[in-house]
Amino acid sequence: MNYEYFIAKRIIGSKAYKSSISAPIIKIGIAAIAIGIVVMMIAIATGIGLQQKIRDKVVAFNGHVTISNFDSNNSQESVIPISSNQEFYPEFKSVDGVKHIQAVATKFGVIRTEKDFEGVILKGVGADYDWSYFKDFLVVGRLPDFTQKRNEDILISEYLAKRLNFKLGDKFQTYFVKDDPNKSPNIIGYTIVGIYNSGFQDFDATYMIGDIRHLQRINNWEKDQIGNFEVFIDDYNELQQKGKEIYQNTPSTLNTQTITDKYYSIFEWIRIFDTNIYAIIGVMILVAGINMITALLVLILERTQMIGILKSLGSRNWSIRKMFLYNAAYLIFVGLFWGNLIGLGLLFAQKYFKLFPLDPSVYYVTEAPVYINIGYIIALNIGTLVLCLVMLLLPSYMITKISPVKAIRFE
């Protein structure tokens, strides 16, 4: 049996240990570890969760990479059409990792009612459109079906529906201005078949989704002319690499742009979350380590006579230090256990019961999203244990300075 571990186990199991002067300090040390692990878990889970949620919502409306014409158009409206007769469409086989490609077009319009009006962007989509993201956003109704004949079904956001007092099944007219200001605008009557809420207010206040064939008709485009292509990839972490490959495998007349370039300010903002997470982890481990150092020093002072006796019996300094490090490791394990129990409980409660809402105008989500992954939880626990033990090596060196003769007389 491991001699040091045996002694440490006997110390931990003794009644005197639990009722000693150091007991309150030990409990504070355990509480510091538990609180630290809870805060770190919440910081990582909500930070990564918020990043992924915002990223997925931007991708839902734009794809990972956009293929469009080279032009100076800075608006969100499709002005110069491109042909859908491309080698990379309808399947982008020349680049590995491309999941889907779809043809879309956008045009600015004005919804007019008897009492109000609202400027919107109609996003025209076709039979190839991937509705997987909007299945999660759908609040009421159904998703439009544009695989058959051209129709007037429309998917509108809950934000716009509330502003215009629309409900499922309502009909309304949308005015689209022509390039020639002297000509009267095109008017299309739409029927609301579904209402969505992405939680991303900037997009919800802007987009409604309808049949691309309406835009082709009012823009006098051919059936094979569209506004741009949206490309979806399998792994977001490879976005920059895949963006370059997609650009290299498209004609020189077309331009490509990743969502991180298109919405630079949004993605630069969510990158700050990484810095915040690292800062919180550093502070929490430092606080937990300092509390454990205090607890260890108190334990050493309380066991000074025992240290002197062990030294007089021939125990080496490192052997005695290991006893106290085993003791400290036990306290850290206790703190980690309670920290994980409380932390995971809070995270699962937030995931399933949405306890903490957020302002969508600031955070682009309606509630704090959480990302729970066994990988980062294990890494966080191991990292905390190792770093705290490393921090305890220095104060445990105090044992080497204790004289056996003086220690045995110590009271």
Per residue in 40-58, pLDDT tens?
Answer: 999 999 999 999 999 999 9
Residue 50 and residue 79 in one domain: no
Residue 242 and residue 94 in one domain: yes
Q: Which of 229, 252, 275 lies at the terminal end of a domain, its last residue?
A: 252
- 328-350 tens-digit pLDDT: 999 999 999 999 999 999 999 99
End-to-end CA distance of the chain: 31
Greater pLDDT, 11 or 59:
59
Q: Which of 192, 221, 252 lies at the terminal end of a domain, its last residue?
A: 252
Amino acid 332: pLDDT: 94
Q: Are 77 and 95 in contact (CB under 8 A)?
A: no
Q: How many domains does the chain have?
A: 2
Question: Is the bond preceding residue 24 a cis peptide, omega within 30 degrees?
Answer: no
The answer to whether position 368 is within a domain reads yes
Q: Are 405 and 305 in contact (CB under 8 A)?
A: no
Q: Measured between alpha carbons, how far is residue 10 from residues 32, 331, 352 in Å? A: 24, 14, 43
Residue 51 and residue 78 in one domain: no
Residue 210 and residue 327 in one domain: no
Identify the residue whose tokens are 């990792």.
97
Structural domain that includes position 397: 3-56+267-409
For residue 180, count CB atoms less than 10 angstroms from its CB and return exposed for 0-12, middle for 13-18, buried for 19 or more: exposed
Q: Are 101 and 232 in contact (CB under 8 A)?
A: yes
Residue 99 and residue 47 in one domain: no
Q: Measured between alpha carbons, how far is residue 217 from residues 105, 213, 226, 266 in Å? A: 12, 6, 11, 34
Amino acid 74: pLDDT: 61
Compute the C-alpha angle 371/58/198, nearest 5°.
75
The answer to whether position 257 is within a domain reads no
Residue 223 and residue 283 in one domain: no
